[in-house]
Amino acid sequence: MHDITEVILRSIAAFIAVLVITKLIGKSQLGQLTISDYINGIVIGSIAANVAVDLRTNVVHYLTGMVAFGVLTIFVQWASLKNRNIRKLLQDEPTIVVHNGKILEHNMKLMRYTMDDLMMQLREKGAFNIADVEFAIAEPNGELSVLFKSTKRPVTPEDLGLNPPYAGVPAELVVDGELIEQNFEQHGISKQWFFHYLKEQGINDIKDVAYAQIDAKGQVYIDLKHDKLTMTVDITDKKPRRKGG
Burial of 102 (C-beta count, 10 Å sphere; 0-12/13-18/19+): exposed
Flag whether pLDDT at 203 surpasses 70: yes
- pLDDT band at residue 174 under the 50/70/90 scheme: very high
Contacts of residue 52, defined as CB under 8 A and 6 or more positions apart, other chains included, come to: 7, 10, 11, 14
- Give residue 31's pLDDT: 46
- pLDDT band at residue 189 under the 50/70/90 scheme: very high
Check if the beta carbon of residue 149 is closer than 8 Å to that of residue 132: yes
In tens, the pLDDT along 130-152 reads: 999 999 999 877 889 999 999 99
User: Under DSSP, is residue 179 helix (H, G, I), strand (E, B) or coil?
Assistant: strand
Alpha-helical segments (H) within 26-128:
35-53, 59-82, 84-91, 105-111, 115-124
Query: What Rg value do the Cα atoms of the chain yield, rounded?
Result: 27
In tens, the pLDDT along 19-33 reads: 777 777 665 544 456
Interhelix angle 35-53/2-25, rounded to 10 degrees, is: 160
- Give residue 3's pLDDT: 72
Flag whether pLDDT at 43 surpasses 50: yes
The DSSP symbol for 236 reads S
Q: Any long-range contacts for 21-30 (C-beta under 8 Å, 24+ apart)?
A: 21/66, 21/67, 21/70, 24/70, 24/74, 25/70, 25/73, 25/74, 25/77, 26/77, 28/77
Q: Once rounded to an integer, what is the mean pLDDT over residues 69-75?
A: 80
Q: Once rounded to an integer, what is the mean pLDDT over residues 212-227?
A: 91
Question: Which H/E stretch holds residue 211?
Answer: strand 209-214
- CA–CA separation, 163 and 41 (whole Å): 46
- CA–CA separation, 22 and 47 (whole Å): 13
> What's the mean pLDDT when you consider all of the chain?
83
- Give residue 30's pLDDT: 45
Higher-confidence position of 109 and 45: 109
Which pTM does this prediction carry? 0.57
Flag whether pLDDT at 236 surpasses 70: no
Flag whether pLDDT at 243 surpasses 70: no
Higher-confidence position of 50 and 138: 138
- Give residue 235's pLDDT: 57
The DSSP symbol for 32 reads S
8-29 core/surface letters (b: 16 or more CB in 10 A; e: else): eebeebbeebbeebbeebeeeb
Flag whether pLDDT at 172 surpasses 80: yes
In tens, the pLDDT along 79-127 reads: 878 887 877 777 778 899 999 999 999 999 988 889 999 999 999 999 9
- CA–CA separation, 16 and 147 (whole Å): 42
